[in-house]
Structures are given as structure tokens and as C-alpha cells.
């Protein structure tokens, strides 16, 4: 009867005695059966010759009634939870050839009757908790035959993984004197044949013998497998150190020396590479008229209190920004950049370009620090009033920005972008204009940040890229859908920021009613209804110049036209603010003549992001003691 591998569970029922008296084979292996074996064993009779109860959860002692199964040849009770000592007499199982009791919790003494069995060929008692091994019968057999094969039949006894600390009799070492040492050829021949063996590998008894230069018998019992040549006596030098120990020490020493040599070679390689890079950088910088000041890593580490979490100003797509107090008492912002594959020479060339960019509405790069590729830092001027994002929505906002301050910020952003697009050569496209990248100094002058970490634009008007950067809600339709990059991308983002400044709300907010979720769509609807002033932040409480507000909102909508060719340049947008009548009239006329061009953006063609995660991205901030609002970018560059 074979019921193995059927995922049977629970206890075996109490069977009547001899219920299976005619059964010859029984297998319950690889199930989840539990309980003791008494009832099952009592239900079996002499015809049984194969019993397999392995890989279950049977517990308790092995019943002595198992002795009645006199025709049993194979018994496998391994991988259960059997406990206690082996109390049944193996000599009564006169036909038993294979006995596997491994991986249980059997304790006590391995019985001496194991060695007097006339039929056993393989016994596996490994991975139990036996503490004593009785080798009396085996010892007497070796004395009689002067051979380590004390039994004519028994071949293998596996006792690895037990807790054997004592072997009876204690005078096993006396066998060394009566066992004749075979010749070299005989040794090898005996190891190639199925020589009977006992393995006590890794038992406490063997570990103790190994530490004290074991004898022949001890080497025989404690070898790792049956093929180890236990005949060889470890050679001892004059200082009492074995050859094996010397070999191990030699190998380990060689490996240590090899490791040290590789380590030294690696550091020498890094030093040479670093020297070569610095030489290239020095040659490159000698040709430049503007050179970025250098800060030492140790100075910046001290200035930021070892880049303490308490000094974090914010985190973004490029890295983490820390507040730093330099040795002279001046306060700066240190941006610790994320690791990059950009080589050092290329990085410094980029820093040279950034250092040469100076404008009152661009955050000023004061210097840089390069320790390794993985530790590059930029040092910027410190913006006392944090970011526009925090001024509008920060949790620690102390007051509401006045309309005068907001209008001043709008003009400052326009001037900064106009400089990047039209005065700087080559022109530069920011690609991520948003309130988090607009910093405010002590007088609430707008300063655009992160502009220098964007590649200079090509001389062509447009560029198509497959790497979409920026933040959703701020990039233009042609960029979101086709990856087209031009200065009109920044113009579109600028239009969104203008709407946020006037309304005091986020560009996307799912807390609003359906028609107000997208700030741009709501603004277009109000414009078409002639109610643009309904967009103004209620916190201003009517304290604003209606003419200026309408000027800013109409400028914003002109920047948000779907066709990039119809959007104004940044200098034209700035002229609107400055009330240059000819430009303003032309742009507003164009805007009013293209109302439909404002409303045909396909919101559902934007990259999909779940509503809940998107709003959390736009409004979440570092609520610890940060000084600048932290807003995670949806598409970090």
C-alpha cells in the first residue's frame, strides 16, 4: 500500500491489532501525518518487508513492538520528530538491510547491537542528538580480525551531525598497535572499494581529537568521507606543528598577500587615474577665462555638520541640498549631487559654463567640490526666503504673499528666462520651470535654480528627445506627447507658474471639483466666460491691482497656447508686464483671436499617473526642520 506524497494530514487512527497482517509494503512518506507509531506498528505483521514513514511529523519513541516484523528488509523513519532512545533489539530484525532514522530527535546511546547484526548494510543515524557511541562489539571484532571491517556484512554507519562526546570503550587507541599498515598500493585499492566505514564527522568527540593530533583509529572514525586516506599520519615538525597546519597557514598567508597586492594595485591605479584627470582638468581650466572656485570636501563637511539631516533644505532630481555655514560665517547652499557616470573633466567644463552665467534672477553658483565621481557638490548662494513653492503652499507659511510681491516674482522669472533663452550664448532651455525651482532672496526677488545642470540647447530651434524630464502639469503638449524641446517648453511652464502665483493653488488638484482639477482648463473656461478675476487667490482679500492681474493672466494664457508657434517669447512676455503697448496689444489680440486654440489640449494624452499619487507628489513636503519645501519630481532627471 503506497499512500506517499498525497498531502495527508492529521493523526493516523487507532487500528485494531494485526489489521494489516497480510500487508507486505507500506508507505506513508512525504505527507503531514502526526502522532505516535504504536497503533500503526501493532496493526502490522511478519509479511511486511518494506516500511517507509519518512518526511512526516510523527513523534514519540520508536515502539519496541517493531521487533516482531521479522521479515523487514527496509525501514525508513527519517525526517520526523521521533524522540527517546533506541530500545528495540536490532538482532531480532534478522533480515533488515537498510535502516534510516536520520533527521529526528533521537538521544542517548547508539546501541552495540548495531555491530553484531548479520544483515545490516546501511545505517543512517545522522542529524540526531545521540551523545554516546557503543563500539564494544565492533572493538572486539577488530581485535579478533585485525581488520577495520569488523562485520562481514555491515558497510556504512552514518553518524554525522550528532552530539557524540563519548565512545565506549575508551581504549580505542590500542587498536593502532594491532592494525597492520598496508602498502601504498593496498591503501589506494582499499579506498576505491566499498570499505565498511563509520563516520562521526563534526561531532564534539572528533573536534577534540583533531585538535590533539589524532591516532589511526581516531582518523578513521572522524574522516569527512569514506575516500579520505586515513592511513597517513600527519607529519609533525620540530615545533610540534603538523604538516596540514603548515599547509593551511601557507595557503591562507598566500591569499592574504595576494589580496593585499591587488588592493595596493587598485589604489595605485586610482591615484594614477586621478592624477591624469586632474592634469586634464588643469590644462582645460588654463584655457578658460572664468574658473569655478573650489571648496574642499572637509570644509563642506564641517559647514554642514557632516551633512546632518537637520541641515537639509530640500531634495530633488539632481540631489540633496544642505544649508552650510562657512568658516567666515557666510551662509551658502550645498547641493550634493547623485552619483553619475559623467567624467570629471566634462563635469568641470560644465561648471565653467555655469560659473560664467551671472544674472540677478538666476541663482549664483559660488563654486564646486569634486572628491570622486560619487561625491560631487555645488555651492550656491543662499536664498533667505526659501522657494516660491513654500511661500505659496508651505506648511510653515507665516504670511500671504502680497500682490506686489507676486507681481515682482512674475517679472523676475520672466527676466531670468529671457536671459537664458535670448541673451546667453549658446541659449539654454531649463525644461523644469516650477515653483520648487524658483528661490526667493531676502527682498523676494525671484531666482531660478537648477538651470545650469541642463545641457545647453542646440543651435536649432527644436530638439527631439526620448528622455522626458520635468514635472507633470508643467511641461507642454508637444514635449509630453512627442518629446519636442524648444524654448517654448519653458514658456509654457512659465504660463502655468503664473496661474499658480495668481490663484495660490496647485496646477493639478483632485481636491477640487471636476471642472477645477486642472488649473489651466479652469482658467481657459473663466477666460471664455469673461470671469478671469474669479481665479485670483482669495487670501489676497481684494488687495490687488485688477489691471495688473488681468495683464498677468492674459500673459499666462498666451503662454499656454497649444501651438508653440503662437506662444510669445520670454522677452515678449516681459514686455507685456512692462506694459509696452504695441507688443501687449499684438499678443492679447492674437490670444483673443485664438480662443479655440486654448481649449483643444488633450489632457487624456498626458502620461498617466494615479490621481492620489500625483497630488501627493505635487503637494508633499519635508515636514521636518527643512528650510525649503521638498517636492518630489514625477520624472526626475
> Which residues define the annotated binding site for ATP?
336
Kindly report the number of other CB atoms within 10 A of residue 545's CB atom. Answer: 12
How many angstroms separate the CA atoms of 545 and 637, rounded?
Answer: 38
What distance in Å separates the CA atoms of residue 112 and residue 104, rounded to the nearest whole number? 20
The Cα–Cα gap between 116 and 52 comes to: 24
Quick one: which H or E segment has residue 110?
strand 105-110
CB atoms within 10 A of CB 161: 18
Q: Map grid coordinates 501627493 to a residue.
A: 616
CB 548 within 8 A of CB 540: no
- Which residue intervals of 146-290 are DSSP H helices? 184-192, 204-210, 216-222, 243-286
Q: Under 8 Å CB-to-CB from 361, ≥6 apart: which residues?
A: 412, 413, 415, 416, 419, 445, 446, 447, 448
CA distance 514 to 523: 13
DSSP 420: I
Contacts of 593 (CB under 8 A, 6+ apart): none
The secondary element (H helix, E strand) that includes residue 315 is strand 312-315
Asked if residues 82 and 57 have their Cβ atoms less than 8 Å apart, the reply is: no
What backbone torsions phi and psi does residue 123 show, to the nearest 5 degrees? -125, 125
CA distance 369 to 539: 43
Distances in Å between the alpha carbon of 599 and those of 479, 521, 528?
Answer: 18, 7, 10
Alpha helix positions (H), 178-242: 184-192, 204-210, 216-222
End-to-end CA distance of the chain: 67
CA distance 273 to 146: 70
Q: Are 520 and 508 in contact (CB under 8 A)?
A: no
Residues facing residue 199 across a β-bridge? 158
For residues 259, 260, 261, 263, the Cα torsion angle rounded to the nearest 10 degrees is: 90
Positions annotated as catalytic residues are 432
Q: Label residue 258 exposed, middle or buried (CB < 10 Å: 0-12, 13-18, 19+).
A: exposed
Strands of the sheet containing 9-11, edge to edge, are 9-11, 32-35, 57-60, 81-84, 105-110, 129-134, 166-168
Binding residues: 336
Distance CA 494, CA 497 (A): 5
Cell of 87: 530500545
Question: Where does residue 275 rank: exposed (0-12), middle (13-18), buried (19+ CB within 10 A)?
Answer: exposed
Amino acid at each position: 500500500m503506497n499512500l506517499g506524497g498525497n498531502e495527508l494530514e492529521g493523526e493516523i487512527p487507532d487500528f485494531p491489532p494485526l489489521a494489516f497482517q497480510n500487508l507486505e509494503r507500506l508507505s506513508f512518506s512525504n505527507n503531514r501525518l502526526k502522532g505516535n507509531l504504536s497503533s500503526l506498528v501493532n496493526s502490522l505483521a511478519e509479511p511486511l518487508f518494506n516500511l517507509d514513514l519518512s518526511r512526516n511529523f510523527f513523534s514519540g519513541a520508536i515502539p519496541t513492538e517493531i521487533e516482531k516484523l521479522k521479515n523487514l528488509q527496509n525501514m525508513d523513519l527519517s525526517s520526523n520528530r521521533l524522540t527517546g532512545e533506541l530500545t528495540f533489539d536490532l538482532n531480532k530484525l534478522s533480515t533488515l538491510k537498510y535502516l534510516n532514522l536520520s533527521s529526528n530527535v533521537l538521544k542517548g546511546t547508539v546501541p552495540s547491537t548495531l555491530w553484531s547484526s548479520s544483515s545490516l548494510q546501511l545505517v543512517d543515524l545522522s542529524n540526531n542528538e545521540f551523545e554516546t557511541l557503543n563500539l564494544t562489539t565492533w572493538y572486539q571484532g577488530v581485535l579478533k580480525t585485525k581488520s577495520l571491517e569488523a562485520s562481514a556484512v555491515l558497510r556504512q554507519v552514518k553518524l554525522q551531525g550528532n552530539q557524540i562526546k563519548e565512545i565506549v570503550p575508551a581504549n580505542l587507541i590500542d587498536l593502532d598497535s594491532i592494525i597492520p599498515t598496508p602498502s601504498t598500493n593496498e591503501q589506494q585499492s582499499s579506498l576505491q572499494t566499498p570499505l565498511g566505514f563509520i563516520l562521526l564527522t563534526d561531532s564534539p568527540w572528533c573536534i577534540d581529537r583533531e585538535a590533539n593530533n589524532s591516532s589511526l583509529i581516531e582518523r578513521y572514525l572522524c574522516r569527512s568521507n569514506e575516500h579520505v586516506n586515513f592511513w597517513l599520519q600527519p607529519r609533525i615538525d620540530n615545533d610540534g606543528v603538523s604538516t596540514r597546519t603548515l599547509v593551511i597557514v601557507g595557503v591562507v598567508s598566500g591569499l592574504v598577500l595576494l589580496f593585499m597586492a591587488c588592493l595596493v594595485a587598485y589604489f595605485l591605479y586610482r591615484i594614477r587615474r586621478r592624477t591624469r584627470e586632474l592634469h586634464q582638468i588643469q590644462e582645460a581650466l588654463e584655457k578658460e577665462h572664468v574658473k569655478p572656485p573650489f571648496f574642499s570636501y572637509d570644509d563642506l563637511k564641517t559647514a554642514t555638520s557632516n551633512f546632518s539631516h537637520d541641515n537639509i533644505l530640500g531634495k530633488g532630481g539632481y540631489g540633496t541640498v544642505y544649508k552650510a555655514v562657512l568658516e567666515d560665517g557666510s551662509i551658502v547652499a550645498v547641493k550634493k549631487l547623485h552619483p553619475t557616470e559623467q567624467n570629471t573633466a566634462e563635469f568641470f567644463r560644465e561648471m565653467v559654463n555655469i560659473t560664467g552665467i551671472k544674472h540677478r534672477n538666476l541663482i549664483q553658483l559660488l563654486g564646486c567640490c569634486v572628491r570622486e565621481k560619487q561625491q560631487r557638490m555645488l555651492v550656491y548662494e543662499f536664498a533667505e526666503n526659501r522657494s516660491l513653492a513654500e511661500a505659496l503652499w508651505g506648511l510653515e507659511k507665516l504670511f500671504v504673499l502680497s500682490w506686489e510681491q507676486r507681481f515682482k516674482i512674475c517679472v523676475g522669472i520672466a527676466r531670468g528666462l529671457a536671459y537664458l533663452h535670448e541673451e546667453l550664448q549658446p541659449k539654454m532651455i531649463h525644461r523644469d520651470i516650477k515653483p520648487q525651482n524658483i528661490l526667493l532672496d531676502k527682498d523676494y526677488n525671484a531666482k531660478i535654480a537648477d538651470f545650469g545642470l541642463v545641457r545647453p540647447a542646440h543651435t536649432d530651434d527644436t530638439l527631439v528627445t526620448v528622455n522626458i524630464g520635468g514635472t507633470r502639469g508643467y511641461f507642454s503638449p508637444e514635449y509630453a506627447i512627442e518629446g519636442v524641446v524648444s524654448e517654448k517648453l519653458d514658456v509654457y511652464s512659465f504660463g502655468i507658474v503664473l496661474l499658480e502665483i495668481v490663484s495660490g493653488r496647485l496646477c493639478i488638484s483632485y481636491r477640487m471639483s471636476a471642472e477645477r482639477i486642472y488649473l489651466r482648463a479652469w482658467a481657459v473656461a473663466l477666460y471664455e466666460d469673461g470671469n478671469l478675476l474669479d481665479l485670483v487667490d482669495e487670501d489676497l482679500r481684494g488687495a490687488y491691482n485688477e489691471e495688473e492681474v488681468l495683464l498677468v493672466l492674459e500673459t499666462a494664457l498666451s503662454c499656454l497656447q497649444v501651438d508653440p508657434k503662437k506662444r510669445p517669447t520670454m522677452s515678449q512676455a516681459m514686455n507685456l508686464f512692462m506694459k509696452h503697448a504695441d507688443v501687449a496689444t499684438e499678443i492679447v489680440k492674437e490670444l483673443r483671436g485664438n480662443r479655440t486654440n486654448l481649449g483643444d489640449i488633450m489632457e487624456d494624452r498626458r502620461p498617466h499617473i494615479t490621481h492620489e499619487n500625483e497630488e501627493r507628489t505635487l503637494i508633499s513636503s519635508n515636514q521636518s526642520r527643512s528650510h525649503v519645501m521638498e517636492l518630489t519630481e514625477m520624472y526626475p532627471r
